[in-house]
Amino acid sequence: MTTNKTILRALSGEVLPVPPIWMMRQAGRYLPEYRATRAQAGDFLSLCYNPELAAEVTLQPIRRYGFDAAILFADILLLPQALGMDLWFVTGEGPRLSTITGQADFDALKPVGAIHDTLGPVYETVRILSRELPAETTLIGFAGAPWTVATYMIAGRGTPDQGPAHALKDGNRPLFEALIDRLTEATIDYLSAQIEAGAEVVKIFDSWAGSLKGDDFRAFALEPCRRITQALKARHPGVPVIAFPREAGAAYEGFARATGADCVALDNSVDAAWAAAHVQVDGCVQGNLASRHMVTGGQALVDETRAIVEAFSKGPHIFNLGHGITPDADPENVALMIETVRAGRG
């Protein structure tokens, strides 16, 4: 590729001597500058919907660390809010939503075309970032995958086992399938609007994919990702898609082929050597250092980082964590990780 953006080169299948690097939740509570900006915004949702401040926190880790990509600062639950659901955050506990438990709740959702009325500030954040990011930094947009977003819409909050969503899936299949379909169509439009605003790559976060098994995984994790990816590629040829079916285990194998995704992001429950042999053979992979190393640091961080870089060195690879960085992480450990990854640069 004729680009100096290493993320885009890796996503096109190029094997680079040093993998590009970014980090899930890289703009977040582990950074003092983020905490200061969030306090200025007043609360989390106000930060998400303030384009200037959302762009600022997206830029903060780029200024501090020089990551090869910036990921839009937003939240996966802005989409159900745009579909008409109530959304609020409880300090120390996380998100809360109104719930979908029956047909009447589903019927009250807004049509897909109405989402942009709410999500306009997100697109403005993307436009600001596309102007202000360094020339070599790739801008990544994102959305939650339909299954993961549905788990929150059905339970009204995060749950340890996604039990309420499984119960609706098994007890009222037509309603559940209608919800997944609505979310799939809305996600296509949402990501398409991010691309039109300037996102160069989009990522689909299926944080709870691992709780789906067998036919359910294929129907509600793989198939929606395939539909989203194919629709986006039809509308925006050449824009790469990263899929993250977290904790898919053996089902990571073949996921890129089945969906058309340009890259599969891996959690840290799968061995890098296994993933190189079974997943990277189909194209770019992303990952997969355990987030705990950002807390504990030390030689274990260095050793594991080197091992992952080596394991994926024969194919296209984007270095990342296996999940988002946690608020108790030490910013110095992030710097050590980056230094270790880039040690091969002459």
The DSSP call for residue 229 is: H
38 catalytically annotated: yes
Instruction: State how far the alpha carbon of 291 is from the alpha carbons of 132, 136, 303, in Å.
Output: 29, 26, 14
Q: Distance between CA atoms of 18 and 333, rounded to whole angstroms?
A: 19
Kindly write down the DSSP assignment for every residue of 245-287, as one continuous string: ETT-GGGGTTHHHHH--SEEE--TTS-HHHHHHHTGGGSEEEE
Domains and CATH numbers, the chain: 6-344 (3.20.20.210)
At 4, is the pLDDT very low, low, confident or very high (cuts 50, 70, 90)?
A: confident
What's the DSSP call for residue 175? H
Residues 21-46: what's their mean pLDDT?
97
Q: How many CA atoms, within 13 angstroms, populate the side-chain half-sphere of residue 198?
A: 19
Q: Which residues contact 68 (CB under 8 A, 6 or more apart)?
A: 5, 6, 7, 20, 21, 22, 136, 137, 138
Would you list the DSSP string of 119-137? Answer: HHHHHHHHHHHHHHS-TTP
For the record, the structure tokens of 22 come out as 């970014």
Long-range contacts of 43-48 (CB under 8 A, 24+ apart): 43/89, 44/75, 44/89, 45/75, 45/87, 45/88, 45/89, 47/73, 48/73, 48/74, 48/75, 48/78, 48/121, 48/122
Sole residue written with tokens 């705990």: 292
Going by C-beta distance under 8 Å and a sequence separation of 6 or more, which residues neighbour residue 129?
A: 55, 58, 59, 70, 72, 139, 198
* Nearest-angstrom CA–CA distance, 120 and 194: 10
Instruction: Categorize the per-residue pLDDT at 91 as very low, low, confident or very high, splitting at 50, 70 and 90.
Output: confident
pLDDT digits (tens, 9 = 90+) for 290-314: 999 999 999 999 999 999 999 999 9
Instruction: For residue 227, indicate whether it is catalytic.
Output: no
Band of the pLDDT at 115, cuts 50, 70, 90?
A: very high
Residue 228 near residue 188 (C-beta atoms within 8 A): yes
Residue 237's contacts (CB-CB under 8 Å, 6 or more residues apart) are none
Q: State the pLDDT at residue 346.
A: 39
DSSP reduced 3-state for 178: helix
Check whether 1 has a pLDDT greater than 60. Answer: no
Look at residue 3 in the predicted model and tell me its pLDDT. 78
- Please tell me the pTM assigned to this model: 0.98
- Answer yes or no: 218 catalytic: no
Establish whether 75 is a catalytic residue. yes
Contact call for residues 18 and 342 (beta carbons, < 8 A): yes
Choose among 158, 121, 126, 145: nearest CA to 46: 121
Whether 119 and 125 have beta carbons less than 8 Å apart is answered as no
pLDDT at 237 over 80: yes
Residue-level pLDDT at 2: 56
| 337 membership: H or E segment, kind and range | helix 331-341
Q: Is the pLDDT of residue 180 over 60?
A: yes
What pLDDT digit, counting tens, does each position of 195-223 carry?
A: 999 999 999 999 999 999 999 999 999 99
Active-site hit among 35, 75, 218, 271: 75
* Mean pLDDT across the chain: 97
Q: What pLDDT is attached to residue 329? A: 98
Of the chain, the end-to-end C-alpha distance in Å amounts to 22
pLDDT value of position 344? 64
CB 71 within 8 A of CB 140: yes
Q: Which of 49, 65, 123, 152 is catalytic?
A: 152
Using alpha carbons, list the distances in angstroms from residue 307 to 53, 100, 205, 278. 37, 44, 25, 17
Mean pLDDT of 110-119: 98
Give pLDDT tens digits for 246-271: 999 999 999 999 999 999 999 999 99
User: Quick one: what percent of the chain has pLDDT higher than 90?
Assistant: 97
